[in-house]
Structure 1
Amino acid sequence: MHFIQITVELIVGFAALFLMTKILGKATLAQVTAFDFISAIVLGELVGNALYDKKIGIGSILFAVALWGMMIYVVEWCTQKYRASRGFLEGKPTIVIRHGHLDRNAMKKEKLDIDMLQNLLRQKSVFSIREVEFAILETDGSVSALKKSQYETPTMEDLQQRRKPVCLPVTIIDDGEVDWENLKEAGLNEEWLMKNLHAHHIQSYSDVFYCEWKKDEGIFIEKMQ
């Protein structure tokens, strides 16, 4: 009966903490994943109970830690096995600057204000929002930034060419599964995709480990090994 109580409390605690991280948004996590954040709290509490609560024996602590580890393993297995579960369990990157303009709705959804965004950009050596063509808030709370072409450090190749527009790469296939939403957003369709796959002697989506498309460079494909 005691182990059943521990199981129920852990499951309820896991669900409550996970819900809290979703409500707080990715920016609040600041460099850690949702599961790192939850694990730190729960495991810290388990150790604290073991040290200060004499009613909780070693057997109970070992059972709780083993159960917690199993839950994390199951979650990680689900995210690896079922691509559809990744968005809910791990979250998705969010574009907060698009074509040089702040996406206020996306920032509001992720609880990200201007000061926080500027701080995260400075960590990437970007000191003005006007320098950014695209900025993506990652699932761990960090920001990835793609500068406008005029603010990029020129290379020898750049010095011999005209300034080019900045294009954001789009993931089309991930581990054998097509991201239809990305395909549609890029203005492409299934017929175009199959034509390009056939050109690379690929007959099925499941034969592709990774595929991305970039407007100025075309398609890039990594086959399954």
Structure 2
Amino acid sequence: MMNLGTITIEMVVGFFALFFLTKILGKTQLSQLTPFDFISALILGELVGNAMYDPDVHIWMILFAISVWGVLMFSLEILTQKSMKFRKVLEGSPSIVIRKGIMDRKQMQKNKIDINQLQNLIRQKGYFSMREIDYAILETNGSISVLPKSDNQPVTRQDLNLPQQKTTLPVTLIMDGTIIYDNLSTAGIDEDWLMNELRNKNIHSAKNVFYAEWKQDEELLVMKEN
């Protein structure tokens, strides 16, 4: 039977090894995972999990298994970036399941998706009738992209002949009572300006602020701690 100390050491080593492997392979959201990515993650987890509780497997074996799998995954990532053909084989390609308002039965059968599933995906995009859709594309990760018919598209400033407005990103200045100084520099303001704005709102310490957000030409958004 394995010693608890040995299990602990192997868990810690496995944890950090997986952490660094994830950093090396890059950031991918769960919604962006391809079927191959998902299966690879399961297999890697099984390799580490089984190795931890096998008394015949040592730490260096865990590191070796993670390293080999990491090299294979990294090599595949490089190949998919360099080769369009290999990328198509590994990741697949998007499929147009609705074309000019008409469902493409062949593409739906090819991608193993029925009408109920298609309706569900379209409702998640905020459209509740097929007559609203001009094109729908089933992406390689299983999500769907929708182009509604012109009558159902949202109105833009250009449609109303309104002048363009400069787009600016909001910047978080305070989170959980802590001032984020890097973001102050990003916004082009300083701590004195921030504290003055807080005092104008009858707040005398950043610790009393749960969340504060700055956006150019708009009032500072402040949410107090409960």
Rounded Cα–Cα distance in structure 1 between residues aligned with 2:141 and 2:70: 21
2:147 partner amino acid: L
Q: Which residue is equivalent to 2:21?
A: none
Q: Residues 160-171 of structure 1 correspond to what in structure 2 (within 5 A)?
A: none
Check the 8 A contact 1:134/1:146 in 2, yes or no: yes
Rounded Cα–Cα distance in structure 2 between residues aligned with 1:32 and 1:115: 23
Is 2:59 the partner of 1:52? no
Question: How big is the shift at 1:75?
Answer: 0.7
Q: Which residue is equivalent to 1:37?
A: 38
SS in 2 for 1:139: coil
Q: Which residue is equivalent to 1:189?
A: none
Q: Percent identity?
A: 55
Q: Which residue is equivalent to 1:90?
A: 91
Rounded Cα–Cα distance in structure 1 between residues aligned with 2:43 and 2:31: 18
Is 2:109 the partner of 1:108? yes
SS in 1 for 2:135: strand
Rounded Cα–Cα distance in structure 1 between residues aligned with 2:55 and 2:100: 59
Rounded Cα–Cα distance in structure 1 between residues aligned with 2:100 and 2:57: 56
Q: Normalized against structure 1, the TM-score is what?
A: 0.54
SS in 1 for 2:126: coil
1:124-158 Cα offsets, whole Å, 9 max, x none, are 11111221100001011100000011111223544
Check the 8 A contact 1:97/1:103 in 2, yes or no: yes
Check the 8 A contact 1:49/1:56 in 2, yes or no: no
Rounded Cα–Cα distance in structure 2 between residues aligned with 1:155 and 1:73: 42
Check the 8 A contact 1:135/1:145 in 2, yes or no: yes
Q: Which range moves more in the overlay, 83-92 or 151-160?
A: 151-160
Q: Is the radius of gyration larger for structure 1 or structure 2?
A: 2
Q: Which residue is equivalent to 1:81?
A: 82
Greater relative CO, 1 or 2 (CA 8 Å, sep 6+): 1
Q: Which residue is equivalent to 1:165?
A: none
Rounded Cα–Cα distance in structure 1 between residues aligned with 2:46 and 2:69: 12
SS in 1 for 2:136: strand
Q: Residues 1-225 of structure 1 correspond to what in structure 2 (within 5 A)?
A: 32-158=33-159
1:129 partner amino acid: M
> How many residues align structurally?
132
1:44-89 Cα offsets, whole Å, 9 max, x none, are 2012212322222222221111111111111111111122211101
Check the 8 A contact 2:36/2:90 in 1, yes or no: no
Q: Which range moves more in the overlay, 49-58 or 63-72?
A: 49-58
Question: How big is the shift at 1:31?
Answer: 5.1
SS in 1 for 2:140: coil
Check the 8 A contact 1:131/1:151 in 2, yes or no: yes
SS in 2 for 1:36: helix
Rounded Cα–Cα distance in structure 2 between residues aligned with 1:57 and 1:156: 64
Q: Which range moves more in the overlay, 46-55 or 140-149?
A: 46-55
1:39 partner amino acid: S
1:86 partner amino acid: R
Rounded Cα–Cα distance in structure 1 between residues aligned with 2:105 and 2:72: 36
Question: How big is the shift at 1:105?
Answer: 0.7
Counterparts in 2 of 1:117 and 1:31: CA distance versus 1, 3 Å: farther
Q: Output the aligned Cα RMSD.
A: 1.9
